[in-house]
């Protein structure tokens, strides 16, 4: 049955005109009265020097490429630049279990055989390999996110950027999906010491399961994830029915999508959902995870998004004018990751960029076009019809209607135990309030591997002309 044509006017209406009246009132304005958005950029010079393995799709070197594009476009002149310190053990232990952290600190490729009995327990192996400097790497990207969160708390910036962060799959006691330490959870815990309500938004193609699980039972954090979902695609969670439990019931929002979604549909659905979320939850601060594996032509992704559409979501969140922490995430065609995050940096600092990439040390990675916006759309059949997307929208907005406005928070220090703020009478809520839709998703022990998980050649990641180039 052919897909129903999309009404372009409906999907591409100007977001600014529809949002200003709703979200620019004095009660919703947390930012200072200055006109120019203050942006702080956090980058550790060494964070791109780690290597998961020759055949592994995660390439930290993409962070070095991104930073070089940012600098050569001159975007550093529009921001405050910070070399963040590394996260301490105590900071990482705010969320992660001590035995797991101790394992990450001690294990190396040279002594790995001495710890093999712990590999299954901590879920390390093919997806999450042991490599040189693994804990040091975690300290670097997590420290940047924590420092960025503190910068927002201190009122020193309106927007903070850490492209090395966004590792959203890591759990309290195990690695998952190329992620070892969940910097997002650590950053949000820091923000909860000051901000009454924090909104987490995830546009990675994979479900933000680690963050959702961490805050599944609290109303102080709302998690919203846009992702591919069919029950098999990693991590296998993110169904519409995962809505939170206990105090957090209805505060987990999932937007499951099918293969091949295009720019117009994605931006329309993102705007519709986020307008509803912002009207209802009224967050004091936002954390935006910008995983670039939702772009078209990604090694592991199956969407058709262009860099401009991905950036449009960043622009929509920026227009709400709420303090925001922006982090990276997935993205496995490294040249497109660097292009995307550079473009989104330009959006955050209100700077237009030339489509011709500037001369830089890594220009060879971007051949043959050497453009900021390559053609990435239309390579996967779009299985999202208007009926399905409308149904998803209606389900999400219906869930939001169950909330009685933004929760009123009595401010107090958040204890090290992530669930500590649930202690007291709040935990006595009747169990009968829970139904079959409220079962907390459990981490899968056997990782499900999609067809696009691994690939034949690493050429793309080293600037060679690969299969993706040939279809562009």
Q: Is 169 noted as a catalytic residue in this protein?
A: yes
Beta-carbon neighbour count of residue 130 at 10 Å?
20
Question: Of the listed 56, 169, 207, 227, which one is catalytic?
Answer: 169
Token pair, residue 104, equals: 């990450």
Query: For the chain, what is the radius of gyration of the CA atoms?
Result: 21
- Tell me how far apart the alpha carbons of residues 340 and 292 are, in angstroms, rounded to a whole number: 7
Task: Tell me phi and psi for residue 82, to 5 degrees.
Answer: -130, 135
| Residue 51 assigned as binding residue | no
326 Cβ contact list (under 8 Å, min separation 6): 159, 160, 161, 162, 288, 290, 314, 344, 348
Residue in the structure block whose two tokens are 């292009």: 339
Specify whether the CB–CB gap between 128 and 176 falls below 8 A: yes
Specify whether the CB–CB gap between 283 and 196 falls below 8 A: no
Task: Tell me phi and psi for residue 66, to 5 degrees.
Answer: -60, -50
Specify whether the CB–CB gap between 397 and 109 falls below 8 A: no
| Residue 206 assigned as binding residue | yes
- Tell me how far apart the alpha carbons of residues 227 and 378 are, in angstroms, rounded to a whole number: 18
| Residue 132 assigned as binding residue | no
| Residue 460 assigned as binding residue | no
- Tell me how far apart the alpha carbons of residues 14 and 376 are, in angstroms, rounded to a whole number: 23
60 secondary structure, DSSP code: T
Q: Is 395 helix (H, G, I), strand (E, B) or coil?
A: helix
Strand partners, 40: 80, 160
* Omega within 30 of 0 (cis) for the link into 388: no
| Residue 7 assigned as binding residue | no
| Residue 204 assigned as binding residue | yes
Q: Annotated binding site: which residue ranges? A: 127, 177, 204, 206, 293, 332
Q: Annotated binding site for substrate: which residue ranges? A: 127, 177, 332
Active centre residues (catalytic): 169
Q: Annotated binding site for a divalent metal cation: which residue ranges? A: 204, 206, 293
């Amino acid at each position: 049955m052919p897909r129903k044509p999309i009404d372009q006017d409906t999907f591409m209406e100007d977001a600014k005109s529809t949002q200003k009246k709703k979200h620019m009132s004095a009660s919703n304005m947390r930012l200072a009265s200055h006109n120019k958005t203050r942006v702080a950029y956090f980058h550790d010079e060494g964070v791109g020097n780690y290597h998961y393995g020759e055949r592994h799709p995660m390439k930290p070197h993409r962070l070095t490429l991104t930073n070089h594009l940012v600098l050569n476009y001159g975007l550093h002149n529009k921001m405050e630049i910070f070399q963040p310190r590394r996260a301490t053990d105590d900071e990482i232990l705010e969320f992660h279990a001590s035995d797991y952290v101790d394992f990450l600190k001690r294990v190396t490729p040279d002594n790995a055989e001495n710890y093999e009995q712990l590999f299954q327990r901590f879920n390390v192996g093919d997806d999450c390999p042991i490599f040189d400097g693994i804990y040091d790497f975690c300290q670097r990207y997590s420290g940047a996110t924590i420092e960025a969160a503190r910068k927002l708390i201190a009122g020193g910036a309106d927007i903070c950027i850490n492209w090395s962060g966004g590792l959203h799959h890591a759990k309290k006691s195990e690695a998952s999906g190329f992620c070892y330490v969940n910097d997002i959870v650590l950053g949000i815990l820091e923000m909860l010491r000051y901000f009454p309500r924090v909104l987490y938004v995830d546009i990675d193609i994979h479900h933000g399961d680690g963050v959702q699980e961490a805050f599944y039972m609290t109303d102080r954090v709302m998690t919203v994830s846009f992702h591919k979902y069919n029950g098999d695609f990693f991590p296998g969670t993110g169904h519409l029915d995962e809505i939170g439990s206990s105090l957090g019931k209805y505060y987990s929002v999932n937007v499951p999508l099918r293969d091949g979604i295009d720019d117009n549909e994605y931006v329309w659905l993102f705007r519709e959902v986020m307008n509803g979320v912002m009207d209802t939850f009224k967050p004091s601060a936002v954390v935006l995870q910008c995983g670039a594996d939702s772009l078209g032509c990604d090694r592991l992704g199956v969407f058709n998004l262009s860099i401009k559409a991905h950036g449009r979501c960043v622009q929509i969140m920026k227009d709400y004018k709420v303090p925001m922490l922006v982090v990276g995430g997935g993205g496995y065609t490294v040249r497109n990751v660097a292009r995307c995050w550079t473009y989104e940096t330009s959006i955050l600092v209100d700077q237009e960029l030339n489509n011709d990439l500037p001369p830089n040390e890594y220009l060879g990675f971007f051949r043959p076009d050497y453009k900021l916006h390559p053609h990435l759309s239309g390579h996967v059949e779009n299985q999202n019809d208007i009926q399905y997307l409308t149904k998803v929208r209606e389900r999400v907005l219906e869930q939001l209607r169950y909330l009685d406005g933004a929760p009123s928070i009595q401010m107090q220090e958040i204890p090290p135990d992530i669930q500590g703020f649930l202690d007291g009478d709040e935990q006595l809520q009747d169990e009968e309030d829970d139904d079959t839709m409220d079962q907390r998703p459990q981490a899968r022990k056997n990782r499900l591997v999609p067809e696009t998980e691994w690939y034949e050649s690493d050429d793309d990641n080293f600037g060679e002309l690969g299969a993706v180039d040939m279809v562009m």
